[in-house]
Each structure stands twice: as C-alpha cells, then as structure tokens.
Amino acid sequence: MAVRTELLKNIRSVEPYVPGEQPQEKVIKLNTNENPYPPAPGVQAALDSLDPADFRLYPDPTSSVLVRSLADYYGVREEQVFVGVGSDDVLSLCFLTFFNSEKPILFPDITYSFYKVWAELYRIPYECPRLDGDFRIVKEDYYRENGGIIFPNPNAPTAIYEELYFIEDILEHNRDSIVIVDEAYVDFAGRSAMELIGKYDNLIVTQTFSKARSMAGMRIGYAISNPDLIRCLNDVKYSFNSYTMSRAALICGAAAVKDRKYLEETVRKIKETRERAKKELVDLGFELTDSQANFLFARHPRYDAGKLFEELKKANIYVRHWEGKKISQYLRITVGTDEEMDVLFDFLRKQLF
C-alpha cells in the first residue's frame, strides 16, 4: 500500500549514506578501511571480565572509565573528552550542536560522504570548495564567511594528509567559526591537531577506535576540545540519548587505550604494507595519491575502475568504488595484511597483463 501524499508532506525525506558492503562469506575484505589485525590483547581480558548479570543495569551515562583513559592518554582534562558510538555518532552530534548558523558550513567537494548527508538531514546550508587538480584541499577557499568548517585529515577517500601549519592557517582565518578536524586516519599519517586545542578555542578534533585500534565492531569514537565546547556537545547528547555507550564498549575501549605499544606496532605494520603496496601498484601501471592513511586511492589509465571493481568482486576481493564524476575512475583499496595484498596483486597481474 502506497503512503498517501497527505502523509508524505510531513515526513522527512533524506538520501542516506551508503556504507560499504559487509559480506557474510569469507572474502579478501579491502573495502571499509578496517584494520586486518586484532585489537590489543587486553581487550580479551576486558571482555572476560564482563558479567552478563550486569547487563540488566544501564551503563554509566558519563562513560567515565573510557573518558578517563582517553584523558590520561592525551594528557588533557576529562572535561575535554566526549565519547560516542563510533565517530559517526560523535560527528553527527557535532553537526547538530555546532552548525546552527544561517551561513553555509564548508567542507571539500570530495570528502567523507556522510558530511553531506548530515547537513541535509539537519537542514544545515553547506558549500563544498573544490579540491585542486592533485586532490588537495585549497586552504584559501576556507577564508570566506561560513557557519563552520569540517574536513578529515587525512582526507577521505583521497588519503592525503596536510601538515599542522595548514590546519593552523585555516584556524587562524576562522577564529569565529567552529572548525572540526576529523582525524579518523591520523595515526597512519603525522601529527594530530590535538596539540592545537589549547591554542584555538574554536577547534574540535575527532578520532575513532575503528581504524588504528582495530575495533570498528565495538563502535567507539571521541572528540577532544576545550571544556566549554565539550559541555555543549554533552548537553545535546543528553537531549538525544543518555546511554550511548554499552558496558562492553566502555571497558573494552578503556583496555585498548592502555596499550600504546600495541597500537604503535600495528600502525607500523600497516604503514610498511602500505608503502610496499604503493610500489606494487605503480609497477602495475596504477597512478595513486601519496596515501598517509590505511587505504590507497588509485586509478589505472587503461582499465575502467568500475569494471575492475566488478572483476575483483567476482574473485572475492572487495574494494570500494564510487560513481561520483571526479572519482569514478578510482578505486579505494584498504591496506590489509601482506598476504591479503599479495592475493590482490596476483589477481591484478593476471588480469591486467
């Protein structure tokens, strides 16, 4: 039965974000930028300590164990840390909390496609300055009047990282706007903008446990900023859903944060594989950006990316491909283990030559 037009006129209609596939069968999964290695060993012990009898109780709404562990890790005050169900949850609440101007918010034309979805969902006006011919953000495009700014660093899906002077320049030119730097992939790149938090009261930095910490399935993300902006974010969170983080996520997350060495070791392995993968792909004739993330953004001048994507899929190798005008000839390939990447390279070698 079709919904009548009288009803439709008051229904919010949105074009949703399309997440990458999560196939149930075993495939070489290089399509959603997950980490191929398990989380820190302490996470198992944390899980073992869970008592299902406690599940009848709500979790701590302040998420204090996790907030405390992140505050200790970064050397900031607990009042400077906000946690949520993945950085998608944190970012979505940031849009709701901080982007309430009549002026358009700004984010790059090629970037994390969820930004546009949230802007539409919350009816926030937005403009999308173009990346340059090398897929880099043009910082001067962010000097104009705006209702807020958000971009990932490294950017996605381009994988390009900008140094801190670049971020600082955007902050300097936007003292009266909130600037959100989405650092989902920063562990694979360089310095984090977190060190600028004390200097710029308009800066919010978000990160996630989904990539470098190998915990996409636990759904943990966080924002670090000054206590005033974190308080505003918490006020909106408590107006929306007080108990966002499950008991399991809270204690597993806190356990993962304790193991700095494990994180560094996992990141080192992924960066090593990434650098080898860049060389292999160049040898195969691909052109790619200088990725500083845990994925590669690559095109082959002689092979249609859409076709290659389908052929890879038939061979049970999943990568990501979008139809967007400027990026339709590119594939985004997550960096897996060396063994997984070898399966990809062997397939490409046979397919392309």
Interface positions with ligand PMP (CB under 6 A): 86-88, 112, 152, 156, 182, 184, 208, 210, 216, 221
Q: To the nearest whole angstrom, how small is the minimum distance from the Cβ of residue 7 to ligand PMP?
A: 32
Task: Considering the complex, state which of residue 111 and residue 273 has its C-beta at the smaller distance from ligand PMP.
Answer: 111
Question: Which of 210, 273 has the CB closer to ligand PMP?
Answer: 210
Do residues 197 and 222 touch, judged by C-beta distance below 8 A? Answer: no
Helix, strand, coil shares of the chain as percentages rounded to 5? 40, 10, 45
Task: Provide, rounded to whole angstroms, the least separation between the CB of residue 235 and ligand PMP.
Answer: 22
Q: Locate 92 and state its tokens.
A: 């979505």
With respect to ligand PMP, which residue has the nearer C-beta, 156 or 288? 156
Query: Which two tokens mark 314?
Result: 């038939």
In the bound state with ligand PMP, the residue whose beta carbon lies nearer, of 87 and 226, is 87
CB closer to ligand PMP, 111 vs 202: 111
Q: How many helices (H) and strands (E) does the chain have?
A: 11, 12
Nearer to ligand PMP, 59 or 152 (CB): 152
Which residue, 112 or 142, has its beta carbon nearer to ligand PMP? 112
Contact by Cβ (8 Å): 109, 131: yes
CB of 152 to ligand PMP, least distance (A): 4
Q: What angle do CA 274, 296, 285 make, to 5 degrees?
A: 95
Min dist. Cβ of residue 43 to ligand PMP (A):
16
User: In terms of Cα–Cα distance, which of 192, 203, 181 is closest to 80?
Assistant: 203
Q: For residue 82, what are the CA distances in angstroms to 48, 100, 213? A: 26, 20, 18
Smallest distance, ligand PMP to C-beta of residue 324, A: 15
Closest Cα partner for 300 from 315, 277, 281? 281
Q: Are strands 221-224 and 203-208 parallel, antiparallel or unpaired?
A: antiparallel
Q: Is the CB of residue 322 less than 8 Å from the CB of residue 19?
A: no
Nearest to ligand PMP by Cβ — which residue?
Answer: 86
If you compute the radius of gyration of the chain from its CA atoms, what whole number of angstroms results?
Answer: 21
Q: In the complex, what is the shortest distance from the CB of residue 292 to ligand PMP, in angstroms, rounded to a whole number?
A: 13
Closest separation between CB of residue 302 and ligand PMP, Å? 29
